[in-house]
């Protein structure tokens, strides 16, 4: 089976994000990048499915040339091949990204296309499902368990107070929720092996960007807290404030 | 995966690294953040080695990572190997020491001086961590002066009898195989002593106030019969063990940079959030001076090991160059750990923070694998051509 994990390079979640001088983009100075953590679940699940049923795992990304580092990380984890759709556009909206990925996927054999449920930079949570729509594939979002049958996938999703179980035909699109698996470390041998794996660049016409970011600004600073006293003696005053000022009790 | 910890890179030294070297560093960094940092203080307090880490480190191939793939190793370049040691020691010097001993002092001599059969038997298991090794050179009365060793190997029939004591042996009690150096009629030679050989025991040394998350042992060899096939045939004389120490010291020089970066990172974060006199203590000039000095020394140390790695990859590295790096980098790391402990004030003495554990660890690293003083004299001899200690 052909598994494709679509990944995105995102700022390390520990990075301090600053707004750039144009007031519309992130200042890239001092920012380090990683594979979007939800996408790592997708890569890991593809590797596990491949280990069970055989096949190949391809990782695919749309991003700047430097994304090769994140692709190499996925190859070091065990993916067989990486495909980079080079894109230097700083502002891309979910649909235009999905169009580029869908075009690329037309040239990459795929039975299961796995995404993270969302990227932790913009948190749109759209691209996986948009790609499914563009390719006319069935999709389930936020899966926590996957089993492959003959020509079908049975997946579970955690919903409010229940677990939903779906069966869908392959090819299909799935997006990964936390809890699906524990991603492996790239082994050092894996890093060496990744050097000789194929990292192809694919040129596809990117979709038109139709959503424009007008402004980016840091959230306003939180108002300073108030200390009402110490120990048990302070409890009545605290309760009073919670009830009357904050109105949470 | 990502960790809060970023290391120190004031001089964009990352740009000197290849993509593969950065991947190696980041992989081990994440591993240390997730697998070592959360558990290490508890082990240091209890005085136990975190055994769970051994197979995990084997799985990501940190042991003997610069040895070839045909023996189950990762086949990495020496800068990658150094970066592994750097990141491990950011976790704890004891964990790095474990990996240094396994790779540089056990796998390296077997690879370099062993028979094909010895390599096939030991290297793959040592790489996986399913076997543990130790290195027996130092004796109770012979530390800086290994040539005076009293452990002897004498021929008996087709084999050998090894008799003597070794001391300060990292991993000794845990080891399945010990590379033991002994005097023979032909000069110093290396032997592979295996756990369970009659007359061979390795009691653990207790009461250490440093490297508490690492096992240190004596090796007691009471007329141990060792077959000829366990002798390392391809080296004779002190250059055998000394060449192993050069490998290990290379890793130590890198490791110290990791410890220094770790304590520095902790102290900077602490100083920025600790408020005294109504402002963060990072704003005080006395602390800023400390940070300026530390970031300078860390940057210099990083450049020294990077260059040393290049020389090693080019086959040009000399033991004297390794002495310079080991001596300098461990010293600046020890100084940084003490300074960071100071910046943390009373909190610095708690094992909730890393500075005091690193400072205590680095006291050992400062004097093991060639004391600071011996490396000073090595450099003195390199400059003047005159040996001060012979």
Q: Does the pLDDT at position B108 exceed 50?
A: yes
CB-facing half-sphere around the CA of A24: CA atoms within 13 A: 8
**pLDDT at res. B3:** 54
Reported as a pLDDT band with limits 50, 70 and 90, residue B1 is very low
Q: What percent of chain A has pLDDT over 70?
A: 100
Burial letters for B208-233: b for 16+ Cβ neighbours within 10 Å, e otherwise? Answer: eebbbbbbbbbbbbeebebeeebbbe
Contact between A134 and A12 under an 8 Å Cβ cutoff? The reply is: no
Span B266-307, pLDDT tens digits? 999 999 999 999 999 999 999 999 999 999 999 999 999 999
Span B315-366, pLDDT tens digits? 999 999 999 999 999 999 999 999 999 999 999 999 999 999 999 999 999 9
What is the distance between the alpha carbons of residues B222 and B205, in angstroms, rounded to a whole number? 18
With CB atoms and an 8 Å threshold, state whether A73 touches B19: no
Q: Does the pLDDT at position B390 exceed 80?
A: no
Structure tokens that stand for B347 in this block: 């909190």
Mutation target to probe the A interface, by most A beta carbons within 10 A, among B60, B63, B72 is: B60
**Whole-number mean pLDDT of chain A?**
93
Q: Does the pLDDT at position B54 exceed 50?
A: yes
As separate numbers, helices (DSSP H) first and strands (DSSP E) second, chain B gives 12, 9
With CB atoms and an 8 Å threshold, state whether A76 touches B27: yes
Q: Does the pLDDT at position B55 exceed 90?
A: yes
With CB atoms and an 8 Å threshold, state whether A188 touches B59: no
Of A197-211, B59-73, B250-264, B307-321, the one with minimum mean pLDDT is A197-211
Structure tokens that stand for B131 in this block: 């076997």
CB-facing half-sphere around the CA of A167: CA atoms within 13 A: 5
Q: Average pLDDT, stretch A97-106?
A: 96
Reported as a pLDDT band with limits 50, 70 and 90, residue B2 is very low
Q: Does the pLDDT at position A100 exceed 70?
A: yes
ipTM metric: 0.83
Which of B2, B6, B76 is closest, CB to CB, to A188? B76
Q: What percent of chain B has pLDDT over 90?
A: 97
**pLDDT at res. A13:** 82
Which of B20, B22, B69 is closest, CB to CB, to A195? B20
Which of B4, B27, B30 is closest, CB to CB, to A188? B27
Torsion angles phi and psi, residue B184, rounded to 5: -130, 175
Reported as a pLDDT band with limits 50, 70 and 90, residue A179 is very high
Contact between A195 and A76 under an 8 Å Cβ cutoff? The reply is: no
Residues of B labelled as active-site residues: 369
All residues of chain A having their beta carbon less than 8 Å from the beta carbon of residue B20 are 72, 191-192, 194-195
Q: Does the pLDDT at position A245 exceed 80?
A: yes
Sign of the CA dihedral with B327 first, then B329, B332, and B333 last:
negative
**Minimum CA–CA partner of B73 in chain A:** A189
Cα of A35 to nearest chain B Cα, Å? 7
Which of A14, A72, A194 is closest, CB to CB, to B3? A14
Q: Does the pLDDT at position A78 exceed 90?
A: yes
Q: Average pLDDT, stretch A78-95?
A: 91
- A9 strand-pairing partners: A35
| DSSP string computed for A173-220 | EEEEPTTS--PPPPPHHHHHHHHTSEEEE---PPPPP--------PPP
What is the distance between the alpha carbons of residues B39 and B43, in angstroms, rounded to a whole number? 7
Q: What percent of chain A has pLDDT over 90?
A: 72
Chain-centroid distance of CA A52 in Å reads: 24
Q: Does the pLDDT at position B117 exceed 70?
A: yes
**pTM score of the predicted model:** 0.89
Contact between A183 and A204 under an 8 Å Cβ cutoff? The reply is: no
CB-facing half-sphere around the CA of A23: CA atoms within 13 A: 2
Q: What domains can be seen in chain A, in order of their start residue?
A: 2-201 (3.40.50.620), 224-249 (no CATH)
What is the distance between the alpha carbons of residues B239 and B250, in angstroms, rounded to a whole number? 16
All residues of chain A having their beta carbon less than 8 Å from the beta carbon of residue B76 are 188, 191-192
Reported as a pLDDT band with limits 50, 70 and 90, residue B388 is very high
E strands along chain B, which residues? Answer: 133-136, 152-156, 159-170, 177-184, 187-194, 200-201, 216-226, 275-276, 279-280
All residues of chain A having their beta carbon less than 8 Å from the beta carbon of residue B31 are 185
B189 closest CA partner among B225, B217, B228, B221: B228
User: By a Cβ cutoff of 8 Å, what residues of chain A touch chain B?
Assistant: 12-14, 32, 34, 37, 40, 68-69, 72-73, 76, 183, 185-189, 191-192, 194-195
Strand, helix or coil for residue A7: coil
Reported as a pLDDT band with limits 50, 70 and 90, residue A199 is very high
Mutation target to probe the B interface, by most B beta carbons within 10 A, among A120, A192, A199, A224 is: A192
Q: Average pLDDT, stretch A157-166?
A: 93
Span A106-121, pLDDT tens digits? 999 999 999 999 999 9
């Amino acid at each position: 089976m052909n598994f494709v994990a679509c990944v995105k390079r995102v700022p390390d979640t520990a990075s301090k994000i600053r707004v750039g001088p144009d007031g519309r983009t992130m200042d890239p100075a001092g920012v380090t990048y990683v594979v979007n953590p939800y996408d790592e679940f997708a890569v890991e699940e593809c590797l596990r499915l491949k280990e069970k049923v055989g096949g190949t795992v391809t990782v695919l990304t749309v991003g700047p040339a430097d994304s090769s580092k994140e692709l190499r990380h996925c190859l070091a984890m065990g993916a067989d091949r990486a495909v980079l759709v080079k894109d230097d556009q700083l502002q891309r909206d979910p649909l235009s990204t999905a169009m580029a990925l869908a075009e690329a996927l037309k040239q990459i054999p795929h039975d299961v296309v796995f995404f993270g449920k969302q990227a932790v930079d913009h948190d749109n949570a759209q691209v996986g499902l948009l790609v499914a729509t563009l390719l006319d594939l069935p999709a389930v979002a936020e899966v926590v368990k996957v089993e492959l049958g003959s020509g079908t996938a049975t997946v579970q999703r955690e919903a409010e107070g229940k677990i939903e179980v779906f069966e869908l035909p392959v090819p299909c699109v799935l997006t990964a929720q936390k809890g699906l698996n524990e991603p492996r470390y790239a082994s050092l041998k894996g890093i060496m092996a990744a050097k000789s794996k194929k990292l192809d660049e694919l040129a596809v016409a990117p979709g038109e960007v139709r959503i424009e970011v007008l402004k980016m600004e840091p959230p306003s600073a939180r108002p300073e807290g108030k200390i009402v006293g110490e120990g048990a003696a302070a409890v009545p005053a605290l309760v009073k404030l919670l009830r009357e000022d904050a109105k949470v009790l | 995966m990502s960790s809060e910890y970023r290391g120190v890179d004031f001089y964009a030294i990352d740009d000197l690294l290849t993509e593969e070297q950065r991947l190696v560093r980041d992989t081990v960094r994440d591993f240390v953040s997730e697998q070592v940092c959360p558990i290490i203080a508890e082990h240091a307090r209890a005085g136990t080695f975190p055994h769970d880490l051994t197979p995990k480190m084997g799985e990501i191939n940190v042991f003997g990572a610069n040895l070839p793939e045909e023996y189950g190793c990762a086949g990495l370049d020496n800068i990658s190997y150094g970066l592994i040691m750097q990141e491990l020691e950011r976790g704890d010097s004891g964990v790095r020491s474990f990996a240094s001993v396994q790779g540089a002092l056990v796998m390296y001599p077997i690879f370099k001086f062993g028979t094909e059969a010895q390599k096939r038997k030991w290297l793959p298991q040592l790489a996986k961590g399913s076997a543990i090794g130790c290195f027996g050179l130092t004796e109770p009365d012979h530390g800086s002066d290994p040539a005076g060793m009293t452990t002897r190997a004498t021929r008996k029939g087709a084999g050998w009898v090894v008799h003597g004591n070794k001391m300060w042996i990292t991993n000794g009690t845990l080891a399945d195989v010990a590379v033991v150096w002994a005097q023979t009629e032909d000069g110093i030679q290396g032997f592979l002593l295996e756990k369970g050989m009659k007359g061979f025991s390795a009691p653990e040394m207790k009461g250490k106030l440093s490297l508490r998350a690492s096992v240190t042992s004596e090796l007691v060899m009471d007329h141990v019969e060792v077959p000829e096939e366990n002798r390392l045939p391809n080296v004779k004389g002190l250059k055998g063990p000394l060449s192993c120490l050069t490998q290990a010291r290379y890793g130590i020089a890198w490791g110290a940079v990791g410890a220094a970066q770790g304590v520095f990172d902790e102290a900077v974060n602490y100083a920025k959030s600790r408020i005294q006199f109504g402002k963060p203590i990072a704003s005080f000039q006395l602390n800023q001076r400390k940070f300026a000095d530390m970031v300078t020394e860390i940057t210099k140390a990083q450049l020294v090991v990077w260059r040393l790695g290049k020389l090693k990859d080019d086959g040009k590295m000399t033991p004297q160059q390794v002495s310079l790096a080991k001596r300098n980098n461990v010293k600046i790391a020890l100084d940084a750990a003490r300074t960071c402990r100071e910046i943390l004030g009373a909190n610095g003495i708690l094992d909730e923070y890393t500075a005091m554990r690193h400072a205590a660890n680095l006291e050992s690293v400062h004097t093991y694998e060639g004391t600071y003083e011996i490396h000073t004299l090595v450099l003195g001899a390199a400059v003047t051509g005159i040996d001060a200690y012979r």
